[in-house]
Amino acid sequence: MCDEDWWVRQLWQKRSYLREHLAIAVGQVQAKASPYASFEAVSEWRYQRRKNTDFIKQMQLDQRG
């Protein structure tokens, strides 16, 4: 429980969870606005997916002779 990275991940997860519930409460997540997730959650997901793709591209080994 002394790992700083673990605490950062836990706090980030709780923050995201709370923000999403607040977005639902104020009506940002509904059939007329965004039916499955808030705009911020979707934006964060897309950003993370882009970062992961870039990381994988950097880590790929070149198999040319």
* Type of residue found at 49: R
d(CA 56, CA 7): 25
pLDDT single digits (tens) 11-64:
999 999 999 999 999 998 988 888 889 999 999 999 999 999 999 999 887 666
Tokens of 20: 């999403």
Question: Cα–Cα distance between 20 and 25 in angstroms, integer?
Answer: 9
pLDDT at 42: 93
The position carrying tokens 């700083």 is: 4
- pTM, entire model: 0.70
